Structure formats: structure tokens, C-alpha cells
Amino acid sequence: MEKDLKLALISEVREDLRTIEQIQITLVLSYYGFFTLIVSVMLSNNINVFKASLINTIVFTLLFVLGIVLQMIQISYKYWQSHYLKLLKTWISEFKIDDSELPVWLASEYKKMTPWSINLILRISTISLTVISFIVLIFYISRLVIKI
């Protein structure tokens, strides 16, 4: 009975982690889509992306702020996930559940094969789009200041 309860808890934790990862992927892909949509609308409406205007500056400020907020969400998720897994591993070690009954990522001998993960790739690509937004924003602001 106790063993079934522990394994049910592990299953619940796995579902929690999957849910959070799905939310993170949805948010990041929405940001990518929004970024792409904004740039393509600007280009399709013959709006000169390299011409500094107040509207372009506001749009890229919005994209930059959204990128920063998304990065904060990703960082908080990463720390939450690592804390959650450490607590779970500590709890599992106290109950001495055999590694063969645990998911691979909870086994005591588990070592990551590669430093790359979907979370890292999402963070790097979000940072890239945010940096692009920042560079374009600085370009617009400098052009607007020169006009004044």
C-alpha cells in the first residue's frame, strides 16, 4: 500500500512537470509567433522597419518587454523545477524505493547525457529574440533622438 502511494505520488509529480513544460512551450511559441507576426505585418504593409518612428519604437518596446517577462518566467520555472526534483529525490531516498521502480530521471545513478535540453534551447532562442528587439529598439531611439 505504501509503495503504491509513493509511486502514485511520483506519477503525480511527473504530470506536474509535464504541465509546467507544456505551459512554458506554449508561452514561448506564442512569443515567437507574435514576434514573427508583428515583423511580417510591418513588412507586408510597406512599413520601413529601418525607419525610426514612434509606432515602430512602441512595437519593439512591447516585444522587448514581453521577451524580458518571458525570460523571468523561464528562470522561475527552472528554479522551481530543480527545487521540486531535489525535494522529491530526498524524499525518495528516505523511503528506499528500488531504482528499477523509479523513472530514469529519479534514479540514484542517473546522470544527464548532454547539457542540452528543450528548456535550454527555449531560453537561448527567447534571449536571442529579446536581444534582437533590444538592438532594434536602441536603433530606433537613437534615430528619434537625432531627429529631435
Structural domain total, the chain: 1
Q: What is the pLDDT of residues 94-104, one digit of tens each?
A: 777 777 777 66
Asked whether the predicted pLDDT for residue 85 surpasses 70, the reply is yes
Going by pLDDT thresholds of 50, 70 and 90, the confidence category of residue 134 is very high
Domain of 95?
2-106+114-147
Average pLDDT score over residue span 109-131: 81
Q: How far apart are CA 22 and CA 8, in angstroms?
A: 21
pLDDT value at residue 143: 84
Query: What's this model's pTM, rounded to 2 decimal places?
Result: 0.76
How much is the average pLDDT of 3-27?
A: 83
Name the CA dihedral angle for 29, 35, 38, 43, rounded to a multiple of 10 degrees: -120
